[in-house]
Amino acid sequence: MNELLGMIPSVLMMVSPILIAAMGGMISERAGIVNIALEGLMGIGAFTAATTHVLLGGEFQATVWVALGTALVAGALISLIHAYASVSLNADQVVSGTGINLLAMGSTVFLAQIIFHQERTEPYKLGMLPGPGGIYATAYIALAVLAASWYVLYRRPFGLRLRACGEHPAAAAAAGIDVRKVRYIAVLVSGALAGLAGACLVLTQTIQYTMYTINGAGFIALAAVSFGRWLPKGVAGAALLFGSAVALAIYMVNIQALRVLPPEFFSVMPYLITIVTLVLFSGKDYAPRAAGQPFEKSGS
């Protein structure tokens, strides 16, 4: 039992980045822009954070927070490309997002070559250190992001406008809402959160940024958005479920009686649990109606 409790910090360590990125993805999709670039933006954030932290000495907790900040800014800046392409130019959102994913992979390695003369950042001495109970601050950041997202989306007029842009942009525009501006803000926020998520991931889970650091976490976040029915509590639940399933698989490997199962079973298990739950809870289509569709002003 103690061992299971001991896994809680590990679960939170794995869930936090996914949850933060998924919140960003959710906000963007609620405004009508599918942000498939979460993976790439997390990579940009992770690279920026690792680089900042290493260049500032790589051992002080203060610079960890500076690194989180720079990653947030970097994520927002790169997502500007996605916003410009999909909002201003009405480009296909999947194509533009995929472009950023490829760009992130190449450019981070390229920049690492220039800065560190190798295809990865130098390892930092210490990443983020856990607080009481072995829990990293990233868990509290994730919680704050979750609460803030819910509050803005459902308790502020801006949230209502944002959701309107994702459901029926023409109606929103008729009501006097600047759809493009709202969508720009939503994409930038999702970029900032994805960058922050990448930073949280790299600073708590490993010792440096490499091409393989993100390794699908952004796509899991994207899946969590639809799995969670585009609702803050649902997305949070989906991320927690997945993280717990991963941790459970790691824990179960140590039980001698379960050793008869092939090791691959434990690797597949988290995905299996997620898919089964998805099937059990599937229902009608909850997606924002206008997600993925460009909005063109008629008439003018």
DSSP tag of 124: P
Site string for another protein, 99-128 (x = CB under 8 A): -------------------xxx--x-xxx-
What angle separates helix 157-167 from helix 179-205, to the nearest 10 degrees? 100
Q: Which stretch binds another protein (CB under 8 A): 147-155, 167-175, 189-197, 244-252?
A: 244-252
Alpha helices in the chain (DSSP H): 2-6, 8-30, 38-55, 61-83, 93-116, 137-155, 157-167, 169-174, 179-205, 217-227, 232-252, 263-281
Taking CB under 8 A as the criterion, the residue among 91, 115, 250, 287 binding another protein is 250
Per-residue b or e along 220-243, where b marks 16 or more CB atoms closer than 10 Å to that residue's CB: bbbbbbbbbbbbbebbbbbbbbbb
Smallest gap from residue 43 Cβ to another protein (A): 13
- The answer to whether 61 and 200 are in contact (CB under 8 A) is no
Taking CB under 8 A as the criterion, the residue among 114, 132, 176, 256 binding another protein is 256
Residues 146-185 that bind another protein (CB under 8 A): none
Smallest gap from residue 237 Cβ to another protein (A): 20
Taking CB under 8 A as the criterion, the residue among 65, 135, 167, 215 binding another protein is 215
Q: Which stretch binds another protein (CB under 8 A): 3-11, 69-77, 138-146, 163-171?
A: 3-11
Smallest gap from residue 270 Cβ to another protein (A): 10
Site string for another protein, 22-61 (x = CB under 8 A): -------------------------------------x--
- The answer to whether 119 and 113 are in contact (CB under 8 A) is yes
- The answer to whether 169 and 291 are in contact (CB under 8 A) is no
Query: Is 91 near another protein (CB under 8 A)?
Result: no
Q: Which stretch binds another protein (CB under 8 A): 153-161, 178-186, 201-209, 281-289?
A: 201-209
Smallest gap from residue 98 Cβ to another protein (A): 16
Smallest gap from residue 66 Cβ to another protein (A): 19
| Cα–Cα dist 56/198, whole Å | 18
Taking CB under 8 A as the criterion, the residue among 60, 140, 212, 281 binding another protein is 212
Residue 109: C-alpha distances to residues 115, 192, 225 (Å): 10, 21, 28
Q: Which stretch binds another protein (CB under 8 A): 19-27, 149-157, 166-174, 249-257?
A: 249-257
Smallest gap from residue 93 Cβ to another protein (A): 26
DSSP labels for 191-249?
A: HHHHHHHHHHHHHHH-SS--TTSSTTHHHHHHHHHHHTTT-HHHHHHHHHHHHHHHHHH
HSE-CB for 292 with a 13 A CA cutoff: 6
Residue 175 CB coordination number (10 Å): 10
- The answer to whether 253 and 269 are in contact (CB under 8 A) is no
Which residues sit at the interface with another protein, rule CB under 8 A?
Answer: 3, 6-7, 9-10, 13-14, 59, 118-120, 123, 125-127, 129-130, 134, 201, 205-208, 210-213, 215, 246-247, 250-251, 253-254, 256, 259, 263-264, 266-267
